[in-house]
Amino acid sequence: MKASSKKMVRFFLGFLGTCMICVLAVLCFFTLWNKNNSPETQKAPSSPDQADLSLPLEENQDQATLPKEEEKEATNTPSVSNKPEKETDEEVQTDPAEQASPEGSSAQNTTAKQPDEQTPSKETPEAFLASMSLEEKVAQLFFITPEALTGFQTVTATGETTKAALDRYPVGGLVYFAQNLVSPAQTKEMLSTVQEYMNDKQGFPIFLGVDEEGGRVLRIGSQKAFSVERVEAMGELAKQGDRQVIREAGNTIGAYLSDLGFNVDFAPDADVITNSENQVIGTRSFGTDPQTVADMAWAFCEGLHENQILASYKHFPGHGGTTEDSHSGYAFSYKTLEELREMELVPFQSGCEKGVDFIMVAHISLPNVTGSELPASLSNVLITDLLREEMGYQGIIITDALGMGAIAKHYSSAESALLALEAGCDMLLMPGDFSEAYSAVIQAVKEGRLTEERIEESVRRILLAKLR
């Protein structure tokens, strides 16, 4: 009996063990089956091109297009010298299903970001602004000589020193003079190298400017080495009374500027001569009749525009009534605002309506308009209230050279730069001390005297012109 009981117990325990093994086997089978068919354990990608496609589409896009500059900002180490590299087709990966069907084939595609609604286009001012540091934005406000940029006495080539300086100060524009321009081949090489470098670095061009009006203001046309037609002074050509003659003059100048690599001409002179004793302008002006000056100035712009050269009306609000020269000190106009509207402002109002690319503001003082001797280039009354708001100008407002006597004898480079920006200027031409002016603007933003939004207003206008 005892032996029989022991056998039954062993049999029963063996049976239970077998059952438990079977149950465990079944459970393991279902567990493995569920795991292999779960979306969380898809097969590993078979090639590097597919490596990110296991992420939801939104994550994939964000990681693929994240600018390197944003990564630096996240670690509190902003850099002026390192711009995000331009994206390529390989860097921005997309779902193969999207390529096969415009509508997509999965639920993930229906919830992906819409670029038009969520993120700006790569080629818009807003997109560039979003990736720029404060230092880069402030640098865009400056239009300086290559000597001011590099510290060299004379610059005739774009070498490693220029590139290193542009890494530190990616300025909005460089202006060249006769000393920089030796021959056609040298000028083309110098300008093409700097333009290519800046396009690769930041994704948009740098302004490369020159004063080429005709007559006595010719940085290139006055040099035999360039073998270009020497265009007469606008005042002389305008005596023919034919706007087509002026347009052809603008076309001639624009053609050789474009061929050399320039994209900005600080011309035409839109001053109306209202004082026969005026010598600083003279035949640079189209004449004494405001409507004639307006028509001729725009004809010259048309000639430049035919060659993709941006134009600049100067010297707002009108330098044709002064006797003094603002290059050496204060120059005054005692006109009232009503008198200006009838004469000096007519060509500038026309330029505002037609959309001239730049308007250069003079350093002349108009005490009967502003109530002080503050130069126009530093006057909120003349720049913001009159030019921007009343006259409706939407383009780039640039100062005349800030190193001229009317400014340099009375203001530091730092203070003149800040006053010009506070008055409403977008670009600062040739401050006496570029480094001092640049540092002052950066500091003014950090201390709250200027806002970054104010800086962005001007940079936005600059980028619009560059991307046009």
Domain boundaries, the chain: 129-467
Using only C-alpha atoms, the chain has a radius of gyration, in whole angstroms, of 33
Q: Which two tokens stand for residue 292?
A: 């004639």
Tell me whether strands 207-210 and 264-265 are parallel, antiparallel or unpaired.
Answer: parallel
Q: Does domain 129-467 have CATH number 3.40.50.1360?
A: no
| Mean pLDDT computed over 208-233 | 97
3-state secondary structure of 287: coil
Q: pLDDT at residue 10 above 90?
A: no
Amino acid letter for position 116: D
Partners of residue 399 on adjacent β-strands: 361
The DSSP symbol for 391 reads S
Please say whether the dihedral angle defined by the alpha carbons of residues 16, 18, 22 and 24, taken in this order, is positive or negative. positive
The DSSP symbol for 66 reads -
3-state secondary structure of 156: coil
| Mean pLDDT computed over 377-395 | 98
- What are 131-184's pLDDT values in tens digits? 999 999 999 999 999 999 999 999 999 999 999 999 999 999 999 999 999 999
Tell me whether strands 264-265 and 217-218 are parallel, antiparallel or unpaired.
Answer: unpaired
Amino acid letter for position 269: D
Q: Which two tokens stand for residue 123?
A: 């080629």
How many whole angstroms separate alpha carbon 190 and alpha carbon 157? Answer: 5
Residue 465: per-residue pLDDT: 98
How many whole angstroms separate alpha carbon 444 and alpha carbon 446? Answer: 5
* Whether the Cβ atoms of residue 320 and residue 331 lie closer than 8 Å to each other: no
| Mean pLDDT computed over 109-123 | 42
pTM of the model: 0.74
| Mean pLDDT computed over 33-58 | 34
Kindly give, in sequence order, each residue whose CB lies less than 8 Å from that of residue 429, ignoring residues fewer than 6 positions away.
Answer: 143, 144, 175, 360, 398, 399, 400, 401, 402
- What are 242-271's pLDDT values in tens digits? 999 999 999 999 999 999 999 999 999 999
- What are 317-355's pLDDT values in tens digits? 999 988 766 665 778 999 999 999 999 999 999 999 999
Positions marked catalytic: 327, 400
The closest alpha carbon to 220, from 249, 181, 248, 258, belongs to 181
